[in-house]
């Protein structure tokens, strides 16, 4: 068994095109021999966002804290505490911190093959 | 995209042998066409626990609230806020609510093939 505390996992820059002020902690990934899926936490600085992009795999995500909207081609959906999200493969999406002053965090899981 | 709030997902009894006062909400599973892995939340009543058991697939889990210990053959590990757990396949384990008065919850993900 591996137990980690989120705050102890290194925070890495996300340098993808279209990302702004995003960092990630890879909680469980290939380095932990996670067999099927990877668990990550993304941190968005005030006004920060992930790219508005698409990819051939799904996300399963959960709001941890802060004021986040999920943007899709159907519009924006603001998240509330206790919300979980299934973003299917090939659906364009973005996670956006709506606050100009506070950070925000969400957990996001992906199939292990897509976690570097 | 599917967004659900944890509290709106039906709470089902867990009737596995060795389980005591456990319920589950299947947040994302086969009914949602989750492709690779399933997301569930388990609720343990005061003194409740999952079976002390093993299976050929992993868990990735996170404490949501309450006072939970993970029991393995190496002993008990009490969880604290922000803790995440990777339980590898074939390692015997149990999640146990240490409180005699308060409920406790943890999120737990498994490969989709193992979610009914």
pLDDT digits (tens, 9 = 90+) for A31-53: 999 999 999 999 999 999 999 99
Of the candidates B35, B57, B60, which has its C-beta nearest A39's C-beta? B60
Which of A67, A62, A80, A78 is closest to A6 using CA atoms? Answer: A62
Region A10-114: CATH code:
2.60.120.10
Residue of chain B with shortest Cα separation from A69: B3
Inter-residue contact B68 to B41 (CB < 8 Å): no
Among chain B residues, the shortest Cα distance to A86 is held by B2
Task: Spell out which residues of chain A touch residue B111, defining contact as CB-CB under 8 Å.
Answer: 35-37
Q: Tell me if A84 and B39 make a contact (CB, 8 A cut-off).
A: yes
Please give the structure tokens belonging to residue B39: 């997301």
Output the DSSP codes for A38-107. EEEEEEEEEEEE--SB--SS-EEEEEEES-EEEEETTEEEE--TTEEEEE-TT--EEEEE--SS--EEEE
Is pLDDT of A21 > 90?
yes
Q: Residue A90 corresponds to which tokens in the numbers above?
A: 């090939």
CATH of the structural domain B10-24+33-108, one choice from 3.90.79.10, 1.10.3720.10, 3.40.50.2300, 2.60.120.10: 2.60.120.10
Chain B closest-CA separation from residue A15 CA (Å): 25
Q: Is the pLDDT of residue B34 over 90?
A: yes
Task: Tell me the ipTM for this assembly.
Answer: 0.96
């Amino acid at each position: 068994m591996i137990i980690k505390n989120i705050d102890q996992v290194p925070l890495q820059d996300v340098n993808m095109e279209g990302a702004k002020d995003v960092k990630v902690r890879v909680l469980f990934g290939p380095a932990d021999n996670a067999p099927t899926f990877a668990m990550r936490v993304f941190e968005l600085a005030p006004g920060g966002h992930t790219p508005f992009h698409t990819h051939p795999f799904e996300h399963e995500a959960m709001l941890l804290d802060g004021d986040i909207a999920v943007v899709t081609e159907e519009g924006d959906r603001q998240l509330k505490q206790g919300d979980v999200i299934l973003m299917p493969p090939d659906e364009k999406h973005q996670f956006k911190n709506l606050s100009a002053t506070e950070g925000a965090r969400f957990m996001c899981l992906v199939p292990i093959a897509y976690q570097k």
